[in-house]
């Protein structure tokens, strides 16, 4: 992709800790897709963006500088020193291998409400279908965004979904998850829950609050905590994490999710979320533990 006058070129000193493929293909985000030229286009925080890497810089296409400062620096977690996190986790040889493989991963700072609904949709689902459901939800209930000659849609807010019914949601083809979305919408619009309230809680209490929403179980709650609240002490355990943890730390012996979670909390502590992302990407891409 050629750099145009309208592109914002951001020189970044930690390019060894930044790789768009690692960031967008590690299971944390469902609204960005790879283009044939290697760039990614998606929507976050009510803005559409095409982004690509160019040498030692990050190029944000047709984006005002104020959005870099107010949205994208935080979204890509660019103020955090990942080299320090990697140095701590790499003391463990398994983590050292996982970090080398996914060295450019960064945990995105996503909207809490969008994370709640997205990870409700993600339960027992595959990524292409998750993306399709989320796009249909946005197209039918979100706001139009005109960007670089194309139309995109913002993720609908609780207010924009107020009064929505299971029947209304049939258009997004989410199946049984419709009723969970309705429950989340109802709880947020009634004031039972709010982003401010959940963010004010400790991680254990925030998890309990999230699990009061129908369809939010242990793993989904941990995903929301990590990706929608930046609670890096959360360690979501899905099938890939379970496999790699059993394979690498328990001599291949099957363990309960509770055992794995307790082991991760003790081993990784406040860096658990970062460890989870490196391990997830490493395990899934190399199909570790599937033989």
Distance (Å, whole) CA 214 – CA 217? 8
Q: What is this structure's pTM?
A: 0.95
The per-residue pLDDT for 1 is: 57
CATH assignment of 81-104+231-291? 1.10.1670.10
Beta strand residue intervals within the chain, DSSP E: 8-11, 32-34, 40-44, 47-54, 57-61, 144-147, 150-153
| Residue 254 neighbours by CB under 8 Å, 6+ apart | 246
Instruction: Output the six-digit token pair for 65.
Output: 């500088």
Kindly indicate whether the domain formed by 8-79 is annotated with CATH number 1.20.1440.230. no
Burial of 201 (0-12, 13-18, 19+ CB in 10 A): middle
Q: What is the pLDDT along the chain (291 residues), one digit of tens a residue?
A: 567 778 998 888 888 899 999 999 998 999 999 999 999 999 999 999 999 998 889 999 999 999 999 999 999 999 999 999 999 999 999 999 999 999 999 999 999 999 999 999 999 999 999 999 999 999 999 999 999 999 999 999 999 999 999 999 999 999 999 999 999 999 999 999 999 999 999 999 999 999 999 999 999 999 999 999 999 999 999 999 999 999 999 999 999 999 999 999 999 999 999 999 999 999 999 988 776
Could you please state the CATH topology (level 3) that the domain comprising 112-229 is classified under: Endonuclease III; domain 1 (1.10.340)
Q: Where are the domains of the chain?
A: 8-79, 81-104+231-291, 112-229
The per-residue pLDDT for 10 is: 84
- In this structure, the number of other CB atoms found within 10 A of the CB of residue 25 comes to 19
């Amino acid at each position: 992709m050629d750099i145009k006058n309208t592109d914002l070129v951001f020189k970044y000193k930690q390019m060894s800790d930044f790789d768009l493929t690692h960031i967008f293909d590690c299971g944390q985000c469902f609204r960005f897709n790879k283009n044939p030229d290697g760039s990614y286009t998606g929507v976050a925080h009510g803005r559409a963006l095409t982004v690509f890497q160019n040498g030692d810089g990050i190029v944000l296409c047709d984006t005002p500088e104020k959005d870099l400062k107010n949205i994208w620096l935080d979204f890509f977690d660019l103020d955090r020193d990942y080299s320090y996190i990697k140095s701590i986790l790499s003391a463990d040889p398994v983590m050292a291998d996982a970090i080398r493989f996914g060295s450019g991963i960064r945990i995105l700072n996503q909207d809490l409400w969008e994370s709640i609904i997205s990870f409700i949709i993600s339960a027992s689902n595959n990524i292409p279908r998750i993306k399709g459901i989320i796009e249909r939800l946005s197209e039918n209930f979100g706001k139009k965004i005109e960007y670089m000659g194309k139309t995109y849609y913002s993720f609908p807010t609780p207010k924009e979904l107020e009064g929505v019914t299971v029947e209304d949601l049939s258009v997004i083809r989410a199946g049984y998850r419709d009723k969970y979305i309705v429950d989340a919408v109802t709880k947020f619009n009634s004031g039972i829950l709010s982003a401010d309230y959940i963010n004010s809680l400790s991680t254990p209490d925030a998890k309990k609050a999230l699990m009061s929403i129908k369809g939010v179980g242990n793993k989904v709650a941990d995903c929301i905590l990590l990706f929608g609240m930046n609670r890096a002490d959360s360690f979501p355990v899905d099938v890939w994490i379970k496999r790699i943890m059993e394979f690498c730390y328990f001599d291949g012996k099957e363990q309960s999710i509770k055992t794995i979670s307790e082991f991760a909390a003790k081993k990784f502590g406040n860096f658990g979320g970062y460890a989870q992302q490196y391990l997830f990407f490493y395990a899934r891409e190399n199909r570790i533990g599937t033989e």
